[in-house]
Amino acid sequence: MRHHPSRDLIIPGPAGCVLMATALLAWSILFLKAEEQIPILVYMISGSLLVLVAALSDLHKSISATISSNESSWDKCMTLTLLALILIFHDDHYTLFLLGTIMVYATAVLGLNVQLGYTGVINFSAASFFGIGSYTAAMSSAAGLPSLPALLLGGIVAALVGCVLLLPVLRTSGHYAALVTMAFALLFRVFLEVNEWFGGPQGIAVAPLTLFGLDFSQDMQLWGIEFSFYVKYDLACLLLLVLAFGFVRRLERSWLGLSMDAVRCDETAGACFGVDIARWKITAFTVGNLLSGLAGALYAMMLAYISPANFAFPDSLLFLSILLLGGMGNNWGVILATVFVVVIPEKFQVIQEYRYLIYAALVLFMILYRPMGLLPRKARNYGRLS
């Protein structure tokens, strides 16, 4: 193998992971703490430049080599980075809510990744399944169901509605699934708005998450330090994200993920080797909606109030564009792109109004010039126990 001088720039091994995670943490703290538009712009530009330099030089190769050969260290570093951010911003409601939103959205898009990125089943109603999770959690906890079962029920109902909706369609081939999900996304909002039972267009209040007698909607005082109630929600979001991430990654590194790839690649060729096309499409669709539903249920509890406007068609498109931006099939890409799409318009208010325009332009640009996304998916590597 040829020797790349730049490979030496990054400390290899777990220490390299720690170093990169620390740099990332430092940059995130600065960026999230910044409130004036000028410093935010400076951090954004300097961050983008750094990424650009890495992408254009060989640096990205050594970074990705370090990460993939020290995967479990990298996983821990990333989890700890998020944990550190939650603790550092322990009394900052706004930033904590932003972090929670990122983690919940990322979980939902991981579900979409199983559907579209792995299996090639397009879903234009990801936000609707997210919304089913939200409304199920709201309605069932209003009816007296404890939080945890209500949360799980959110995921299960989303998965079941998906099955009922698409079972007839997924058995056929062609673009019917795309059309059905599109119609469903448009109808879902109208359905909620005309049903007073679901709170109509104004929406409904959602009972807070309560686990083991711990009310997640109350601020806390520990060792004399003020903790926003969002800290608890963020920890729950982090747990959900870590579990979802581990699950979809194991799925990819198994015969199940291989079969899903076979379906996406070539249904006819797959069928000639025994791949049951309908079975894997249904499995992927159900798993994806389960994750979206769980994420939606947790999000609803964190928001405490939901309305149909939270789960409209543009939100489904937003989920899709996160996946396209991050890189179809790449779970780290999903996380990276969710951060971009959620944080940048929040911090950089100037573009807030035009954000859908910017997303649209960005997606078009990606499709034309970098169809594999920011982080293209790598060849499957079964060889790890995790």
Judged by the rule CB under 8 A, the positions of this chain that interact with another protein are 247, 250-251, 254-256, 258-259, 261-262, 265-266, 268-276, 377, 379-380, 382-383, 385-386
**First vs last Cα of the chain: how many Å apart?**
28
Give me the least distance between CB of 190 and another protein, in Å please: 37
Q: Shortest distance, CB of residue 241 to another protein, whole angstroms?
A: 18
Q: Which is nearer to another protein, 220 or 251 (CB)?
A: 251
Residue with Cβ nearer another protein (4 or 279): 279
Q: How far is the CB of 381 from another protein (least distance, A)?
A: 8
Q: How far is CA 283 from CA 72, 118, 178, 251, 372, in A?
A: 28, 11, 17, 11, 24
Residue with Cβ nearer another protein (265 or 367): 265
Q: Where are the alpha helices (DSSP H) in 229-330?
A: 229-252, 255-265, 267-271, 277-303, 313-326
Amino acid at 245: F
**Would you say 11 and 19 are in contact if contact means Cβ atoms under 8 Å apart?**
yes
> In terms of CB distance, is 214 or 265 closer to another protein?
265
Shortest Cβ 110–another protein spacing (Å):
15
Q: What angle is formed at CA 10 by the lines to CA 8 and CA 13, rounded to 5 degrees?
A: 100
Taking every pair of Cα atoms in the chain, the longest distance, rounded to a whole number of angstroms, is 67
Q: Which is nearer to another protein, 143 or 385 (CB)?
A: 385
For another protein, the closer CB: 44 or 256: 256
Question: Could you tell me how many residues make up the chain?
Answer: 386
Q: Which two tokens stand for residue 10?
A: 């990054």
Cβ proximity to another protein: between 189 and 377 the closer is: 377
Smallest distance from another protein to CB 71, Å: 13
Q: Tell me the closest approach of the beta carbon of residue 264 to another protein, in angstroms.
A: 8
Q: How far is the CB of 252 from another protein (least distance, A)?
A: 11
For another protein, the closer of residues 57 and 254 by Cβ is 254
| Orientation of helix 331-347 relative to helix 93-112, angle to 10° | 140
Q: CB of 159 within 8 A of CB of 289? A: yes
Query: What span, in angstroms and rounded, lies between the C-alpha atoms of 47 and 37?
Result: 15
Whole-number minimum distance, CB 122 to another protein, in Å?
18
Q: Burial, 196: exposed, middle or buried (Cβ in 10 Å; 0-12, 13-18, 19+)?
A: exposed
Torsion region of 316: left, alpha or beta (phi above 0 gives left; psi -120 to 50 gives alpha): alpha
